[in-house]
A = this chain, B = another copy of it.
């Protein structure tokens, strides 16, 4: 019956990362492969209390169908949190989504025709590549430098008719790279000049351990943009609550696409998240996460410097959950993966993050979900795997 499949399914694959997570189910393996936040930091008691209060105070309407746009109170809180960080956004421009993955799906529905040119960072976020692929665009990969995208490559892509640019300017997944202030402004200007769409994904922006918070590219735009946010990394991902900020006329179309996709995001999940935010100080909770992840990131960088051969280059991210490593040119991180699994340590090889099939020598390490002891032992093991490979 496979002749019934749509043509697009020939080019869309299961997430390679999710496949790796199966390999790494062995409890003896120290895994830096996942992209999971640290569950020890989930505000479990506060969420439990928020949940009880939702059942007691809101009752049946928390279990009923609700509006596609999302809970009005939750949208107001999101707008207020942006205001604190200097961005003025109306709650009416915020659409609640089923995690920020869903934003990518509905943005693709609204904007991508088959064959449209979509610019993406090299390496780029796998979830976006997967979501967009369903709509059969042509990806144009541009180099990601240590301070953001190569602007000449971006401009060239726009000159050649690219319709949009999807990027993660803060502590990017997979690379950990953040855009400098200058590049943020320059990207905004280029997108304005070419009337192109900038899809700004920002799940990690609040998790900065060092350096200074920088404004979104969205805030520098003169024309409408798309800004994506999520509670997955600052509260907990299991609720599947993200949001997209977009002005009219984008907003209305995104609502239509969201409605066709799943009617609305879980009413119960939204009610619990709203109550949690109303009755807890999430800023101090985010402070805890930053303190912990910052320590873990520092320890991973330190251990890499001690245990990796010096030919391996890494990024040193100022926030987020990931750092990025490059083996010497011509060395394959897939080969390293096979050795590392035998040495009981795992990571994600870089290839799937490159839409142009390059990146063979790179790999991603997650530092958010391992304590310092595991980081020490895991990086030792991985250093030894690398030495084996390079020998």
Count of this chain's copies in the oligomeric assembly: 2
- Given A1-B195, A238-B267, A256-B12, the answer on whether A55 and B44 have CB atoms closer than 8 Å is yes
**How distant is the Cα of A238 from the Cα of B105 in the complex, in angstroms?**
22
Q: Is the pair A64, B47 in contact by a Cβ cutoff of 8 Å?
A: no
Q: Is the pair A36, B65 in contact by a Cβ cutoff of 8 Å?
A: yes
Query: A348 to chain B: closest CB distance in Å?
Result: 15
| Residue picked from A44, A65, A232, most chain B C-beta under 10 Å | A65
CB neighbors of B among A43-72 (8 A): 44, 47-48, 51-52, 55-56, 59-66, 68
Q: Is the pair B40, A48 in contact by a Cβ cutoff of 8 Å?
A: no
Interface size bracket, A side:
35 or more
Whose C-beta in chain B lies nearest to the C-beta of A105?
B261
**How distant is the Cα of A197 from the Cα of B6 in the complex, in angstroms?**
12
Whose C-beta in chain B lies nearest to the C-beta of A249?
B2
Contacts of A7 in B (CB 8 A): 113
Whose C-beta in chain B lies nearest to the C-beta of A223?
B1
Whether A308 sits at the interface, judged by CB under 8 Å, is no
Q: Is the pair A55, B64 in contact by a Cβ cutoff of 8 Å?
A: no
Whose C-beta in chain B lies nearest to the C-beta of A22?
B67
**How distant is the Cα of A326 from the Cα of B102 in the complex, in angstroms?**
39
**How distant is the Cα of A1 from the Cα of B164 in the complex, in angstroms?**
12
**How distant is the Cα of A264 from the Cα of B127 in the complex, in angstroms?**
12
Query: A373 to chain B: closest CB distance in Å?
Result: 19
Q: Within the complex, which residue of B13, B37, B262, B267 is in contact with A105, where a contact is CB–CB below 8 Å? A: B262
Whether A269 sits at the interface, judged by CB under 8 Å, is yes
Contacts of A3 in B (CB 8 A): 195
Query: A113 to chain B: closest CB distance in Å?
Result: 5
- Given A101-B261, A259-B14, A269-B266, the answer on whether A236 and B63 have CB atoms closer than 8 Å is yes
Q: Is the pair A55, B51 in contact by a Cβ cutoff of 8 Å?
A: yes
6 further contact pairs, Cβ within 8 A, besides A39-B61, A44-B59: A1-B249, A4-B197, A5-B111, A6-B135, A15-B259, A47-B55
